Amino acid sequence: MALTIPELTIPAAVTRAAREFGDAEALAVPGGPDGLGGSAGLGGPGGVRLSFAELEERVAAVAGALMDSGIGAGDRVALWAPNGAEWMLAALGALSAGAVLVPVSTRFTGPEALDVISRSGAQALFVAGGFLGVDRLGALMSAAAAPDARGGLERLTLVVRVPEEWDRFLQAGSLTRARRQAAAVRPGDVSDIMFTSGTTGRSKGAMTSHERSLAVARAWADCGNLTQRDRYLVVNPFFHTFGYKAGILACLVSGAALVPQPVFEAGEAMRLVAAERITVLPGAPTIYQMILDHPARASFDLSSLRLAVTGAADVPVALIERMRRELTFSTVLTAYGLTEAVVATMCRPGDAPSVVSSTSGRAAAGFEVRIGPAGEILLRGPNMMLGYLDDPPATAAAIDAQGWLHTGDAGRLDEAGNLTITGRLKDMYICGGFNVYPAEVEQVLARLEGVADAAVVGMADPRLGEVGRAFVVVRPGFALTAADVLAFCRERLANYKVPRRVEFRGELPRNPSGKVLKRVLREEP
């Protein structure tokens, strides 16, 4: 029997969810101060709640309004706004109109946003109005008018400020025409251009198709046993692949209710968990650390939580142990992915605690994983990016002739195929002729009582070539000295791995996905 093409597109997934899940809640945006919890353009200060059937109707309305504004198949639609109902509806509406989604980080300044929007060739822009007191559209226009501007906004034909102009934008639009266009979208069409975090240089636009985006969403939902009974608090930014594909799309294919949090704050997150009976709370390691250390944690009922999924090269084993011991998660999983391959490996429920705490699981979403020269993690599979936007040389450098994606991450595989990440190849430094992977040192530091966060980078040394420099964040109520940290390391690490310098910080610099910006730390005097 031939495969039904429409089921492999995101617009078809919206239609199917409306048919299968109907009146079940798809989106819950509780009301909150200054619009941070609510969605003034949809439901006023009291927030908004949409069923899957209502979601499909709103998405079709957005698609129709975009089409009536001249936005059609293949056009690029940029979104520069926080997690919320408008983001979700604008994204799904753009995809239903056959357009290509271009998420823009809310952390970006005007010049950074201009760079992404202009390079993507976006014809439409949804931009947050007064979110967090920043006039993003004003910042963007100022950046475009600057003498040293890198790019311009000449291709923009539609700009919608959200939530201020949302209702006016939706006044026009044919639902019938929109649904007809949605059915014409093909699985291989480009669905989105996700710009990399740019931790090592200028960001690149990774292009992905509808079919591939849905496949990684389904893989994530399957690994986490996500079902219609789940309520998913999405604290990961929608502009990031995790928040969008393992968040919005994962809920769409599984029937789970999505509850977005525009700005992560541990106290508000716990309030939402208690009020909305959240069952699923994935995120970067730092969010769990902040919840665990919050002085008011005991006053919130967090008993509904069942699933946590986290991942990074530096997930501390001690953190996973605390999540199991002190929070109510029955399942804690680790995973590994990147913009170019959203879900590459993942643990599964039922994996032994030792597997979850020491690896990022085994291949998922159809990927093959192997370790290449110098210990680099290589990936190959049907759900990898299509390539980098307008950058064939970068694409060729990332994906070799055999189809293997060179991730730049270092790792090792055990006999069962579970992947352990040892760090970034560029993070590795050589001390006295020995290779040192910072992730190993960071795991040890995480076990020192009182350490909330830690990062290690290499610094030049006239005798040994390079030595370790540790940046440590201390948990509230604890006092640590450099001598304490070094003594702890000496008991557990070979001498060449022990940092030679310890510095204390209130926090570590991170990108929007939660990864420590080690290049920033390396540049410190």
Please write down the HEC assignment for all residues of 446-458: HCCCCEEEEEEEE
Q: What is the pLDDT along the chain (525 residues), one digit of tens a residue?
A: 333 444 799 999 999 999 999 999 999 998 754 333 334 345 555 589 999 999 999 999 999 999 999 999 999 999 999 999 999 999 999 999 999 999 998 888 888 899 899 999 999 999 998 787 889 999 999 989 988 777 889 999 999 999 999 999 988 667 888 989 999 999 999 999 999 865 445 689 999 999 999 999 999 999 999 999 999 999 999 998 999 999 999 999 999 999 999 989 999 999 999 999 999 999 888 789 889 999 999 999 999 999 999 876 556 777 888 888 899 898 999 999 999 999 999 999 988 888 888 899 999 999 999 999 889 999 999 999 999 999 999 999 999 999 999 999 889 999 999 999 887 788 888 888 777 888 889 988 988 999 999 999 999 888 788 899 999 999 999 999 999 999 999 988 888 899 999 999 999 998 766 778 898 999 888
pLDDT of residue 35: 37
As a 3-state breakdown, the chain gives helix, strand, coil percent values, each rounded to 5, of 35, 25, 40
How far is residue 177 from each of residues 61, 158, 517, measured CA to CA in Å? 10, 20, 46
Could you give the count of Cα atoms lying within 13 Å of 117 in the half-sphere of its Cβ? 34
Contact 277, 479 (CB under 8 A): no
Name the segment(s) of the chain with CATH classification 3.40.50.12780: 5-250
Q: Give the start-end residues of each E strand in 274-327.
A: 307-310
CATH 2.30.38.10 residue ranges for the chain = 346-426
List, by residue range, all CATH 3.30.300.30 domains of the chain.
428-523
Alpha-carbon distance of 334 to 384, in angstroms, equals 20
Residue 176 CA, chain-centre distance (Å), reads: 34
CATH architecture of the domain with range 428-523: 2-Layer Sandwich (3.30)
Note if the bond before 163 is cis, omega within 30 degrees. yes
Q: What are phi and psi of 242, to 5 degrees?
A: -65, -50
Q: How far apart are CA 467 and CA 401, in angstroms?
A: 37
φ, ψ of residue 373 to 5 degrees: the values are -55, 145
Question: 């540790």: which residue's tokens?
Answer: 470
The per-residue pLDDT for 5 is: 42
Domain 346-426 belongs to what topology?
A: Luciferase; domain 3 (2.30.38)
Domain 5-250, CATH 3.40.50.12780 — does that match? yes
Dihedral angle sign, alpha carbons of residues 202, 511, 211, 223: positive
The pLDDT assigned to 433 comes to 75
In angstroms, rounded to a whole number, what is the distance separating the alpha carbons of residues 183 and 206?
25
The pLDDT assigned to 493 comes to 86
Q: Give residue 201's pLDDT.
A: 52
Residues 480 and 99: their CA atoms lie apart, in Å, by 53
Nearest to 518 by CA among 454, 473, 460, 467: 454
Q: Are 118 and 150 in contact (CB under 8 A)?
A: yes
